[in-house]
Amino acid sequence: MSFLRLFRSVAIACACGLVATTAFADKPATIRIGVAQQGNGDPPTFGGSSAATVQQQQLLEKEFAADGIKVEWLFFKGAGPAVNEALADKSIDFAFQGDLPSILGRANGLKTRILLESGVRVGVKIGVPPDSDVHSIKDLKGKRVGLFRGTNLHTVADNALAKNGLEERELRVINLDTASALAALASKGIDASINDYHLYKLRDQGLARIIYESQNDGPQFTRQAHLLVTDDFEHAHPDIVQRVVTTFVKGAQWSSDEANRQALFKSWARSGVSESSWNAEFPPGTLKWRNSPLVDAFIVARYKAVAQDALKLKLIRQPVQVDGWFETRYLDNALRTLKLEHEWTPYDAAGKPLG
């Protein structure tokens, strides 16, 4: 009798142990990454950042193929704001998103962690129809301007306007997503479009003229984008997060190498923006500067500034704490493992290189 009881308790203990080990080694069936862009083509793809490189070279798919984990890239026509909805809904685990939309999400209680940067010091461009009488930002007063609200274009645009003594209220702002804004500009439905490198497409066709590029005014007039992860996923699968970050750093390294320039732009051209446009957007020698994944003093200062701007512009209702949002240990581990600690230059808060 006692032997039977012993046997039963051992059996139950073994069963519990098995369940425990499977629970601990529980892997997600799919890793879902949301991209704050509409994407182009079928299947959709994008360009302009190391994240795009990772997606196009299928680095993540290859990394996780052996574990049987699928990787799903989800594109959002509504860009950053739509990604916030998906994060709130728990429909995605990772997100490639811009600074402002993530701050909006954090202000409204989304629990996320920023892992690394992907696509920094990106400028904002203002395009007008070729025959327009608008020649500088000051001429935009009272005009119909297309702006994609809530994306990281928003704060840079407002700062550029403020520098020229204008407020958003003095323009007639229409909220248009990237593609609609291009169409509206081409058909002269709007007088100006505050957009990004997509405007080069129109310029090459002779349908638009670019009157302003914000990066010329200094790094304070640029926007950043990053890869973030939901708190829940990070707590549940820290090992997977580490592998994802390491893969992204590999992608960033490849994208920062000037030797890969032609191959890089050729790959990014699949997103619908031509190679020559990419060449114009990334002047020679700037690949490393733009594709650096480091979270340095400059990045932290920029995010704090954007948070303050958002509060000032009444885009958020209470201040957002940026400290404690960045989780850089995965990035540090990846740099150490791949021996890339000195690959990229960190910058200070004013944008000057450190050492």
Task: Look at strands 192-195 and 144-147 and give their pairing.
Answer: parallel
Closest approach of another protein to the CB of residue 210, in Å: 18
166 part of the interface to another protein, by CB under 8 A: no
CB 113 within 8 A of CB 229: yes
Site map (CB under 8 A) of another protein, residues 37-66, x = contact: -xx--x------------------------
User: How many other C-beta atoms can be found within 10 angstroms of the C-beta atom of residue 83?
Assistant: 28
Is the CB of 90 or the CB of 329 nearer to another protein?
90
Single residue of 104, 128, 161, 334 touching another protein by CB under 8 A: 104
Is the CB of 174 or the CB of 340 nearer to another protein?
174
Tokens 């190679």 found at? 275
Binding-site size, another protein (CB under 8 A): 45
Single residue of 57, 110, 217, 304 touching another protein by CB under 8 A: 110
Applying CB under 8 A, which part among 52-60, 80-88, 253-261, 263-271 lies near another protein? Answer: 80-88
Single residue of 74, 269, 300, 349 touching another protein by CB under 8 A: 74
Applying CB under 8 A, which part among 98-106, 219-227, 245-253, 326-334 lies near another protein? Answer: 98-106
| 324: nearest Cα among 295, 352, 350 | 295
CB 50 within 8 A of CB 247: no
Applying CB under 8 A, which part among 50-58, 167-175, 256-264, 337-345 lies near another protein? Answer: 167-175
Site map (CB under 8 A) of another protein, residues 143-162, x = contact: -x-x-xxx------------
Continuous segment of H or E residues that includes residue 9: helix 2-24
- Distance between CA 346 and CA 79 in Å, rounded? 28
Is the CB of 200 or the CB of 330 nearer to another protein?
200
> Which residues have C-beta within 8 Å of that of residue 61, sequence separation ≥ 6?
70, 71
- Distance between CA 249 and CA 50 in Å, rounded? 8
Single residue of 184, 236, 305, 311 touching another protein by CB under 8 A: 184
Is the CB of 70 or the CB of 261 nearer to another protein?
70
- Distance between CA 340 and CA 332 in Å, rounded? 10
Single residue of 57, 70, 86, 211 touching another protein by CB under 8 A: 86
- Distance between CA 213 and CA 66 in Å, rounded? 45
Among positions 314-333, residues that touch another protein (CB under 8 A) are 315-316
Is the CB of 207 or the CB of 280 nearer to another protein?
207
Alpha carbons within 13 A on the beta-carbon side of 179: 10
Q: Can you give the length of the chain in residues?
A: 355
User: How many other C-beta atoms can be found within 10 angstroms of the C-beta atom of residue 332?
Assistant: 12
Site map (CB under 8 A) of another protein, residues 224-263, x = contact: ----------------------------------------
Strand partners, 212: 126
- Distance between CA 312 and CA 126 in Å, rounded? 23
Reading the block at residue 198, the tokens are 């997509």
Closest approach of another protein to the CB of residue 330, in Å: 25
Reading the block at residue 150, the tokens are 């809530």
User: How many other C-beta atoms can be found within 10 angstroms of the C-beta atom of residue 201?
Assistant: 16
User: How many other C-beta atoms can be found within 10 angstroms of the C-beta atom of residue 135?
Assistant: 11
Is the CB of 160 or the CB of 173 nearer to another protein?
173
Is the CB of 91 or the CB of 276 nearer to another protein?
91
Which residues contact another protein (rule: CB under 8 A)? 38-39, 42, 74-78, 81-82, 84-86, 88-89, 91, 101, 104-105, 107-110, 144, 146, 148-150, 172-176, 179-180, 182-184, 186-190, 315-316
